[in-house]
Amino acid sequence: MKVLSNRFFCHGSRFASKITGGRRFVSLTGGGTTTTTTATACGSIAQYGTGRSTSSLLVLSSSSSSSFRPLTSILSMSNFSTVASTRPSSSSSQQQQQQQQQQQQSVVLPTSPSTYSDDKSGQQMGVFFDTRKLPKLKPSVVQRRLANCKTYEGREKNIRQSPWKLNRVCQLAAGLTLEEALTQLRFCPIKNADLVAKVLKRTSNLADIRDGIQMSQLEVAECFATKSVMLRRIKPMGRGRHGIMHHKFSHIRVVLREIDFPLKIYQQKSMNQKKKWLLHQKRAEQDGQTAYAKRQEMERLMKKQQEQERERKAAAASASKK
């Protein structure tokens, strides 16, 4: 059997024993559901003969958004659980594959969970485990998850400022959540910081109109300035000479992306950061539910108004016939 090496699993029997020992798990329950996935660690376990070819890994629960796929499907589809064989398949290898599939479908529960609950309401928010020793996700897995998120673009053209100066403002917002970016731009003393915040708000309104996504559910994936037209003017100089004076203009491009909360929580290194993103996820879900209820109420009122207008016209038409 030829085992494909991959970066998802560390090399060495010590990590293989940790994977198979059932102690390094991460789990998060949101809304009474828990997402569980399994990953094959043949790269390190089969090589050192630990006697177990698979390990179960409890991962974060997926978000309520329909555009997000749970980490279960992403991890199971990735290449780090692939084992290639150069020999023809035999009955023993088929039995091993069946055992691997059965173990992948099974759920291994952790033995020592630590429950986290809200201090004010006392509501149980989730269950955390130490994931600092777990391997990082492959970049391809992260890119596939981010590619499934919805994105929204915003632009502003012909701004009277050089791209170099305007990029200093854009760098404050790039990579942050939308709420944090607006807070940074609010207290930024540099010129045109309010203009960048205006573009971000306008793009977030576009997300709300199209898909009903609120500001707490968005992050600034891209925010940068590019070169625009350059006006040339005469620059008076001493001794009757003159030069060329350039008036530089810039364009702004903003890309807002829906936040993948399970991925964000998994990638955090400390427990405090995980709790922070968990609370952010809960707040974003509440904002989405509130906005959805308002939208439904507005549609109901609009339909009611149209029906009343139709009845009024019908009553006026019947009165004119009489």
Neighbours of 254 (CB within 10 A): 24
Q: How many CB atoms lie within 10 A of CB 50?
A: 17
For the chain, the distance separating the N- and C-terminal CA atoms, rounded to the nearest angstrom, is 93
Which residue in the block uniquely carries the two structure tokens 């998994």?
266
**Alpha-carbon span 56 to 41, nearest angstrom:** 10
Instruction: Count Cβ neighbours within 10 Å for each residue of 61-70 and write b for 16 or more, e otherwise.
Output: bbbebeebbb
- Collapsing DSSP states into helix, strand and coil, what is residue 248? strand
**CB atoms closer than 10 angstroms to residue 266:** 20
Digit-coded pLDDT (tens) for 70-108: 454 444 444 433 333 344 445 677 887 777 666 544 433
Q: Is the pLDDT of residue 169 over 60?
A: yes
3-class SS of residue 64: coil
Q: Judge whether 259 and 219 are in contact, CB under 8 Å.
A: yes
Cα–Cα dist 175/163, whole Å: 19
Structure tokens that stand for 309 in this block:
């207008």
pLDDT in tens, 8-34: 333 333 333 333 333 333 333 344 433
- Catalogue the E-assigned strands of 62-214: 114-117, 124-128, 151-159
Q: Where in the chain is the domain with CATH 3.90.470.10?
A: 150-258
pLDDT in tens, 113-163: 555 666 667 666 655 556 667 788 899 999 999 999 999 999 999 999 999
Q: What is the pTM of this model?
A: 0.61
Select the CATH number that applies to the domain covering 150-258 from these four: 3.40.640.10, 1.10.443.10, 3.90.470.10, 3.30.9.60.
3.90.470.10
User: How would you classify the pairing of strands 114-117 and 124-128?
Assistant: antiparallel
